[in-house]
Structure 1
Amino acid sequence: MKSRRELLLTLPSLGWLGVFFALPCVLIVALAFRESDLRGGVGEGWTLATVRLLVEGDYLAVVWSTLWMSMVTTVLCMALALPVCWALARMSAGWRQGVLLLVVVPFLTNFIIRIFAWRSLLHPEGVIKQGLVWLGLATDDTMLLNNAGAVLLVMVYTQLPFAILPLYAAAEKFDFSLVDAARDLGATKWQAFRKVFIPGIWRGLISAVVIVFVCSLGQYVIPKFVGGTGNEMIGNKIEQRAFSDRNLPLASALSGALLLVVLVPTLLLGRRRE
């Protein structure tokens, strides 16, 4: 009876996920094996040629670039978010609310507006470029836009709140007397942080890694506006094949590859979390 009640309570969520997540994913993978129509859209027959293009073309380099950029973004976000969450969890309630408000404030601004704001800041006539030139850290020929560094900077900026919030939720429940006990037993601050605090918030850390990594994999607006054509990610290729070329089977094949790249680490980390 209890299992039946639990199943009934779960059915609405399962139905929602099945209709709006699982079914579209199945349709996308199926479209990858259809022929393309020269007039745009999907042809009549079935073929493996579209899938072979992912291996034979230059898409493997784009997939690798996407993975590398997403992994570096995730590592940097974790490195920045962990000390912030440590400090947040040990702050007084008043200061904590103020800092959390600052973390959430960027979400109140449109995502595209924030990207264009960074584009203006990194522009050759922007404040950051002029400030670096004035300090002697850059020259007039230095380009802060249209490179991998600009993409990485803006991706870390946009994904950092997604790392801080899950980590803070875990750190808030952590018993900091364990850290004090480790210090009393001779551990340094770094040892207590690494061997006591991080294992104590392990579940929150895995959640933050999954969220940041998956969100980074699907980025295409940031590389498009601050990275230029030489720093495209797989999301940019999907956009080009779907809207510019009207090659829906190839766009579906790329989307299927991205789906595979997302699911594998998510499942592995999910098993590790158990």
Structure 2
Amino acid sequence: MKSRREVLLTLPSLGWLGIFFALPCLLILGLAFRSSDLRGGVGDTWTWYTVKLLLDSQYLSIAWRTVWISAATTVLSLALALPMCWALARMKPFWRQVVLLLVVVPFLTNFIIRIFAWRSLLHPEGLVKQALVWLHLASEDTFLLNNAGAVLLVMVYTQLPFAIMPLYAAAEKFDLSLVDAARDLGASKWQAFTRVFLPGIRQGLLSALVIVFVCSLGQYVIPQFVGGTGDELIGNKIAQRAFTDRNLPLASALSGALLLAVLVPVVWLGRKREE
């Protein structure tokens, strides 16, 4: 009786996910094996040709660029979020709430507006460029936009809150007296941090890693506005094939590859949680 009640309670959620998530994903995977129509539609025949195009050097290089930029974004976001969460866990409640509010405030602003704000900052006449020139850290010829560094910088900025929140949720539940006990037993600050604190927030660390990496894989707005023609990610190619070239089967094949790439870390996280 109890299991039946649980099934009935989960049916609405499962139905919603099935209709609006699983079914569209299956349709996308199915379109990847259809031929393309010169008029911008989908052909009547089934073919492996579109899927084989993913092995072209053009798409392989874009896939590699997507993976390494996403991985670099994840590493840098975690490297910045960990010291902050360590400090948050030791702050007084009032200051902790203030800092968390400052972390959440960017979410209250439209995503596109924030990207354009960074574009203005990195512009040749923007504040960041002028400050670097004034500090003699850059020359007048230095161009901060339309390169992989700009893409990585803005991606870290946008993904950092997604790293902070899971880590803070885990750090808040961590018993900091264990760190003090390790210090009393002769451990240095670094040893207490790496051997006691980090294992204690392991689940939050894994969640932050997967969330940031998965969100970074699908980015296409940031490379479009602050990156150059050689900094496109797989999301940019999906948008081009779907809206510009109207090659829906190829866009579906790229989307299917991205979907599988996203599922790998999600499944890995699920298995780690069960261990």
Identify whether the pair has TM-score above 0.5, normalized to the shorter chain.
yes
Structure 1 residue 57 displacement after superposition: 4.3
Q: Secondary structure at the match of 1:58?
A: helix
Looking at structure 2, the residues matched to 161 and 56 of structure 1 have their Cα atoms a distance apart, in angstroms, of: 36
Residue 246 of structure 2 is aligned to residue 237 of structure 1: no
Could you tell me whether the CA contact under 8 Å between 2:154 and 2:222 is conserved in 1? yes
Could you tell me whether the CA contact under 8 Å between 2:63 and 2:234 is conserved in 1? yes
- Aligned match of 2:47: 47
What is the TM-score normalised by the length of structure 2?
Answer: 0.98
- Aligned match of 1:128: 128
Q: Deviations over 1:134-163 (max 9, x none)?
A: 111111111100111000000000000011
Q: Deviations over 1:65-118 (max 9, x none)?
A: 000000010011111111111111111111011101100000010000000000
Residue 7 of structure 2 is aligned to residue 7 of structure 1: yes
Q: Which runs of 5+ in 2 are unaligned?
A: none
Residue 262 of structure 2 is aligned to residue 258 of structure 1: no
Q: Secondary structure at the match of 1:161?
A: helix
Q: Secondary structure at the match of 2:44?
A: strand
Could you tell me whether the CA contact under 8 Å between 2:104 and 2:161 is conserved in 1? yes
Could you tell me whether the CA contact under 8 Å between 2:214 and 2:265 is conserved in 1? no
Q: More deviation in 149-158 or 80-89?
A: 80-89
Looking at structure 2, the residues matched to 198 and 252 of structure 1 have their Cα atoms a distance apart, in angstroms, of: 40
Give percent identity, aligned residues only. Answer: 79
- Aligned match of 1:217: 217
Residue 182 of structure 2 is aligned to residue 182 of structure 1: yes
1:41-190 aligned at under 5 Å gives the runs 41-190=41-190
Q: Which amino acid aligns with 1:164?
A: I
Q: Which runs of 5+ in 1 are unaligned?
A: none
What is the TM-score normalised by the length of structure 1?
Answer: 0.98
Looking at structure 2, the residues matched to 83 and 56 of structure 1 have their Cα atoms a distance apart, in angstroms, of: 42
Q: Which amino acid aligns with 1:96?
A: R
Aligned length: 274
Moved >3 Å (runs of 4+): none
Q: Which amino acid aligns with 1:90?
A: R
Looking at structure 2, the residues matched to 251 and 76 of structure 1 have their Cα atoms a distance apart, in angstroms, of: 30
Q: Which amino acid aligns with 1:261?
A: A
1:190-201 aligned at under 5 Å gives the runs 190-201=190-201
